[in-house]
Amino acid sequence: MGNEQIQSNSYTPDTFMQGVKDCVPTLLGYISIGVAFGVVGIASGISVLEIFLLSVLVYAGSAQFIFCGLYLAGAPVTAIVATIFIVNLRHLLMSLTIAPYFTKHSTLRNIGFGTLLTDETFGVSVVAASKEGRLGGKWMDGLNVTAYTTWIAACTFGGVVGQWLPNPEKWGLDYALVAMFVALLILTLASIPKTKLMHYLKLIVYMVVCMYGLLYFVPGHLAVLLSTLAVATIGVVTEK
């Protein structure tokens, strides 16, 4: 009994350093995707400084890759802004999911939590919340700040390296973002109890069907958003 109590108390989800430690397993993904973005950014014709600023101000892997594609295609600024805004609307859903754990914090603090929230930190937060039943503000800061600084450093480094790699597709770096999301999905499914695994697998099937169906009627970014809203609603209604 004593050993069990010591083991349970060894995890402290309210500390900044625990947030840093919990972020470490995701850092390889941040580094690989960040470096890939830096290389792709240089190949798209933007400078290392612009890559740095995109990483600091946008801080969204998929949006930054989309920016490079649209910029290279000569899309107008309004189209780039609107597309990135729609793609990043998923962050609203993620923020709403974890917001109930931070109601005791100020509005400014909650803005900080939401601003630095990513797909990876959201995944880590959901797993931690399911285990502990709570999330600490200092823990969230440690998680978010570690991910944020690592991402900026990786993207900037990739931009420097990209000056000597003019053809990122040759190295498969344009697939890095897709690979990261596949790995994130597998890790998330592995942490789900077996009793709920079938439920989530069904939702994945619904998502695929919904996505491909909507692609015949709306652009890809809208298909992603609408499918996410529809399947998330189904998941909430059907979860036992």
Look up residue 28 and give its two tokens. Answer: 């390889």
Q: Is residue 2 assigned to a domain?
A: no
User: 191, 211, 226 — which closes off a domain?
Assistant: 191
- For residue 76, the model assigns a pLDDT of 82
The reply to whether 230 and 145 lie within a common domain is no
Q: Is residue 139 assigned to a domain?
A: yes
DSSP structure class, residue 169: G
**Percent of the chain, pLDDT > 70?**
80
The reply to whether 174 and 208 lie within a common domain is no
The reply to whether 94 and 212 lie within a common domain is no
Q: Mean of the per-residue pLDDT values for the chain?
A: 82
If one counts the domains in the chain, the total is 2
Q: Is residue 163 assigned to a domain?
A: yes
The reply to whether 201 and 129 lie within a common domain is no
The count of C-alpha atoms lying within 13 angstroms of the C-alpha of 231, restricted to the half-sphere facing its C-beta, is 21
CA gap 162, 171 in Å, rounded: 12
What secondary structure does DSSP assign to 15-75, as a single string? SHHHHHHHHHHHHHHHHHHHHHHHHHHHHTT--HHHHHHHHHHT--HHHHHHHHHHHHTT-
Q: Is residue 89 assigned to a domain?
A: yes
Q: Is residue 180 assigned to a domain?
A: yes
- For the chain, what is the largest distance between any 2 Cα atoms, rounded to a whole number of angstroms? 65
* Best CA proximity match to 42, nearest among 168, 177, 150: 168
b or e along 141-170 (b: 16 or more beta carbons within 10 Å of the residue's beta carbon)? bbbbbbbbebbbbbbbbbbeebeebeebee
Q: Is residue 4 assigned to a domain?
A: no
Domain that holds residue 124: 13-191
The reply to whether 135 and 200 lie within a common domain is no
The reply to whether 64 and 150 lie within a common domain is yes
**Percent of the chain, pLDDT > 90?**
31
The reply to whether 111 and 207 lie within a common domain is no
Conformational region of residue 76, where left means phi above 0, alpha means psi within -120 to 50, and beta covers everything else: beta
The reply to whether 134 and 107 lie within a common domain is yes
Residue 233 pLDDT exceeds 70: yes
Look up residue 182 and give its two tokens. Answer: 């596949």
pTM over 0.75? The answer is: no
Q: Is residue 7 assigned to a domain?
A: no
CA gap 51, 22 in Å, rounded: 27
Residue 146 pLDDT exceeds 80: yes
The reply to whether 105 and 46 lie within a common domain is yes
The reply to whether 181 and 199 lie within a common domain is no
Q: Is residue 138 assigned to a domain?
A: yes
The reply to whether 158 and 211 lie within a common domain is no
- For residue 140, the model assigns a pLDDT of 95
Q: Are 187 and 123 in contact (CB under 8 A)?
A: yes
> pLDDT of 86-145, one tens digit each?
778 778 888 988 999 999 999 999 999 999 999 889 989 988 888 878 889 999 999 999
Choice between 70 and 181, residue whose per-residue pLDDT is larger:
70
Look up residue 53 and give its two tokens. Answer: 């600023």
The reply to whether 169 and 112 lie within a common domain is yes
> pLDDT of 164-210, one tens digit each?
876 666 666 656 556 656 765 676 666 667 767 788 788 889 988 99
